[in-house]
Amino acid sequence: MIGLSPASVIPADLPRAVAGGGAADSATPNLPAIKITVPPLPPTYGTRRRLATRFAAVARRRVTTVLGPPGAGKTSAVAHWVRSGQAPGPVAWLTLDEEDNTPQRFWPHVLAALAGHAPGAARALPPTGRVDGAIAGRVATALGHRATPVVLVLDRVELITDPALTHELDLLVAYARSGLRLVLCGRGGNVGWLHRHRLAGDVAEISPADLALDADEVPEILRAHGVPDLPDADIRALHACTEGWMTGVCLHALALRSGVGPAVLPHPLGRQAVTDFLRTEVLDAQPARVRHLLLRTSLLDRVDPGLADQLTGRSDARAILSRLARANSFVAHADGAQFRYREPLRTMLLDALVGSRPDLVARLHTTAARWYAQRGSPATAVAHAVRGGDWEFATAVAVDRVGVAALLAAPGARPVRERLAALPDAARDTAAELVRCVLALAGHDVPRAGAALERAGRAAGATPRRRAAVEVARVAVARLTGDGDAAAAAAERYAQASPEVRVDAARTRRFLDANLGVALLWAGRLDAARAALTGAAAAPVAGVEFSAHDALGHLGLLSMYEGRTTEADALAGQAIALAERAGVPPAERVGAASATLAATALVRNDLPAARQHAADSLATLTARTDPPTAMTLALIRAWVACARRDGAAAIAATGAARAHLRRTRPPRLISDRIELTALWAHLIVGDLAAARGCVDRIGDRAERTVAEGYLLEARGEVEAARATLARVAGPDASPSALQYAALALGRLAAATGDVPTATRALGDALDYGRPDRRRRAVADSGTWAPPLLRGNATIARDHPWLTARAADGAPPVAGGLPQPLTDREAQVLRHLSEAVAIRDIAGTMGLSVNTVKTHLKNIYRKLGATGRSAAARRARELNLIAGECGPRS
């Protein structure tokens, strides 16, 4: 077994430099050869490159400690280092036992180990055979003159505790200088005598973390034991439950190889084998008071000595835990003055506690819950209260100490909610109902949240703290229903509560501002929404990052709908960057920021980026339930469908967007975007009656005028369309409306051959689009613009943002292809998009088939396409193929 006691057989082929000192001399007539022989490696031991690299880095130090818990593979690791020839000199090995803990026994055994490598040192024992106080100095003097150091390995060094002996070892290291490399291998023990050498930089450490397997090393160990490749999930689970402990991994491998039980890891028989090993090697070796402490504190993730004293009724926990940590008994120092039990030991202890005293477990958890609550660790208090079945205390701490805002918006809120999710139906007080409301809000189940909130409000009575918590929950519910009035009223009632009843006031204030801002945005109260969101986003500090991320994302969404796409990009980028810095996983973020970036990417005609940002938004929890985000994503689907001239899909998507309108009262600028998009979709399919209804529902005068002009154009009323579009002007018209109107006027002029008017209109449209790089509007306007763009050097010079790939990565519009299509290629492309066969294209155009194929190759190259379908799709995105046109912002 890797990491266990060395075998008692000396291989015949072991080199003398490795085998130790050979036969015992007259001073040690009964010394077993096994004590001074490098142990053989188990057949399952493989090369561990990470550990070998670590040994290579420390081998030149005077002292190297290899310390770790039982079964960590310490002895095998050092033996492998020796056998691989990496040691800086000949190796003398001494495996210690309890009888070596005196100078009279220790030094003769050391000299026997050194006999084959340092004869001068081996003669340091006086003729009398008695060890005296000068022996360490004589050995050091003999070694100090060597050009090549001797490596002395002392295995099981934890057995050396005699102060006189550790003092002599200190002298040996100090005076042997470069002639000795001392390797101390064991569980820990009394190595405090090294402090002087450690300060001088002469001590290197191979720690328990170095000895532990990482997840990538586990499969190799399993294969060495004859276990075939297993799923990554099993490997990760085994690594987690063993923390890379070598013997634990091997025991599970042996259990799996036995064929008994399920073929999964961790293996039930492996778990039992680990329990048996640790009970024998660790637990049973401790005094009763230590076992009592370990068992009663095994239910703690982190063991605070103060809590340990309370759980045991003693006052010596700190001393006991410190000693266990020094001894590497699967106890390690954690944050501050706390300790933690390594997972294999903790699992064994918990099993033992539950098996022997199941009645005690709940009481211990309850005691721990109250201890943590009193010391300002409410989340941990909730965890222990839940485990102890004390739901009244768990929900009270969750509401009164953690707080509704933190339960929904704190970085570590999810684990707390997951623990509370098992809340039994029998719990019906205010705190329990508020917890149910929080759980429903986290799952975006608005009806269930509202019902629980109503019950909480009735149960709260006149309790000020609970009333304040109810108001916080009311704001959160109002956000999802788009009820700005209810959100504002609840926020005002919370503000009137006395400061002492407000839980986590700073976080709660930001949380309220963010949720109030979204509710007001969706209710059409834009100025008030912007003020609340700005307050939530201002100077985010620790603990309020999620609310600031939420607010920044919705400020970006608001700016996008108002037509300020550059500002929207910046705000959305800040929101995502803040979430990344705060460690908020992508799935737990607010989807508004990514939805904003998807929309602005469409404005810039960057469809790949739009698709990616939309996918990022859809991956968040709020994508389908938070009204602004869900509606925006539906609208984006409609915009993309319109860009592909898929009118039916666009109509379906605008229907989904309208469904959100029926639940709320959004601002006109949002409802207008839906109607403009629906207008475009109906024009694509030729449904002019439905398009008429869209025009009539548009509230903004300039946008409605543009829409009217497009509808008139679709009806063939060209002069009326031109006159209508010419009225779009003035400070009240948005840049988007002005750009679409100018493009429509240019298209109408180009259709009649009026190139100068078309060129002027195109220039106006580009001027309107330049600040926000509105490329998509040009691509949407039809096939008339590309020829003008190709033939007008002035426009190309004045608007490089249109024709060159910009810093934002968006592709150019149709007129800005790196190599524009020739007229003949454009004609071939139109036939191609109609699924006409190559031979028929050749016949229609009066060309040979080979000439058509040459044109197709050029088209594919210029469009960056790999075939007919991809070329047609790319041509539609760039509007190189004629189609219906419509307004969109």
Long-range contacts of 805-809 (CB under 8 A, 24+ apart): 806/604, 806/773, 808/604, 808/606, 808/773, 809/606, 809/609
Do 362 and 322 share a structural domain?
no
More confident residue, 120 or 612: 612
Q: Give the per-residue pLDDT at 14.
A: 34
Q: Is the backbone of residue 226 left (phi > 0), alpha (psi -120 to 50) or beta?
A: left
More confident residue, 23 or 872: 872
In a domain, 9, yes or no: no
pLDDT exceeding 90 applies to what percent of the chain? 61
pLDDT exceeding 70 applies to what percent of the chain? 91
Do 644 and 628 share a structural domain?
yes
Domain CATH code at residue 849: 1.10.10.10
In a domain, 885, yes or no: no
In a domain, 645, yes or no: yes
Contacts of 106 (CB under 8 A, 6+ apart): 96, 100, 160, 165
CA distances from 37 to 6, 119, 154 (A): 10, 17, 11
681: pLDDT confidence band, cut at 50, 70 and 90?
very high
Q: Is the pLDDT reported for residue 668 higher than 80?
A: yes
In a domain, 886, yes or no: no
Q: How far apart are CA 644 and CA 776, in angstroms?
A: 12
In a domain, 427, yes or no: yes
List the beta bridge partners of residue 184.
65, 154
Do 614 and 485 share a structural domain?
no
Structural domain total, the chain: 6
Q: Is the pLDDT reported for residue 808 higher than 60?
A: no
Q: Is the pLDDT reported for residue 1 higher than 50?
A: no
Do 771 and 792 share a structural domain?
yes
Do 169 and 141 share a structural domain?
yes
Domain CATH code at residue 20: 3.40.50.300
664: pLDDT confidence band, cut at 50, 70 and 90?
low
Do 839 and 774 share a structural domain?
no
In a domain, 330, yes or no: yes
Q: Give the per-residue pLDDT at 819.
A: 57
| Domain limit, last residue, from 167, 190, 211 | 211
Helix (H, G, I), strand (E, B), or coil: what is residue 835? coil
Tokens of 187: 């569980």
On whether the CB atoms of residues 398 and 503 are closer than 8 A, the answer is: no
> What's the mean pLDDT in 311-325?
95
Q: Give the per-residue pLDDT at 24.
A: 43
> What's the mean pLDDT in 248-255?
93
| Domain limit, last residue, from 797, 813, 839 | 797
On whether the CB atoms of residues 178 and 208 are closer than 8 A, the answer is: no
Q: Are strands 63-67 and 180-186 parallel, antiparallel or unpaired?
A: parallel
List the beta bridge partners of residue 66.
185, 206
List the beta bridge partners of residue 92.
152
The residue range of the domain holding 311 is 218-295+304-337+344-352
Query: Dihedrals φ, ψ of 5, to 5°?
Result: -60, 145
Tokens of 737: 């409306």
Tokens of 199: 């300060």
In a domain, 598, yes or no: yes
Tokens of 166: 């550790």
pLDDT tens sequence across 38-61: 999 998 888 888 999 999 888 789
Q: Is the pLDDT reported for residue 812 higher than 60?
A: no
Q: Give the per-residue pLDDT at 19.
A: 42
> What's the mean pLDDT in 668-681?
92
Do 624 and 485 share a structural domain?
no
In a domain, 462, yes or no: yes
Q: How far apart are CA 404 and CA 503, in angstroms?
A: 8
> What's the mean pLDDT in 79-95?
94
On whether the CB atoms of residues 149 and 180 are closer than 8 A, the answer is: yes
Do 438 and 319 share a structural domain?
no
Region of poorest pLDDT, from 392-401, 548-557, 862-871: 862-871
751: pLDDT confidence band, cut at 50, 70 and 90?
very high
On whether the CB atoms of residues 461 and 431 are closer than 8 A, the answer is: no
Query: Which of 752, 789, 753, 787 lies closest to 769, judged by CA?
Result: 789
pLDDT tens sequence across 155-192: 999 999 999 999 999 999 999 988 999 999 999 867 88
User: Across all residues in the chain, what is the average pLDDT?
Assistant: 87
Residue count (the chain):
889
Do 767 and 708 share a structural domain?
yes
130: pLDDT confidence band, cut at 50, 70 and 90?
confident
CA distances from 567 to 311, 556, 560, 600, 636 (A): 57, 7, 8, 10, 19
pLDDT tens sequence across 616-648: 999 987 888 788 899 999 999 999 999 888 999
Say if pTM beats, i.e. exceeds, 0.85: no
Q: How far apart are CA 780 and CA 144, in angstroms?
A: 86
Query: Which of 776, 855, 773 lies closest to 814, judged by CA?
Result: 776
| Domain limit, last residue, from 797, 832, 860 | 797
CA distances from 662 to 448, 552, 615, 631, 701 (A): 20, 26, 25, 11, 23
Do 80 and 104 share a structural domain?
yes
Do 748 and 669 share a structural domain?
yes
N-terminal to C-terminal alpha carbon distance within the chain: 70
Do 249 and 205 share a structural domain?
no
On whether the CB atoms of residues 304 and 368 are closer than 8 A, the answer is: no
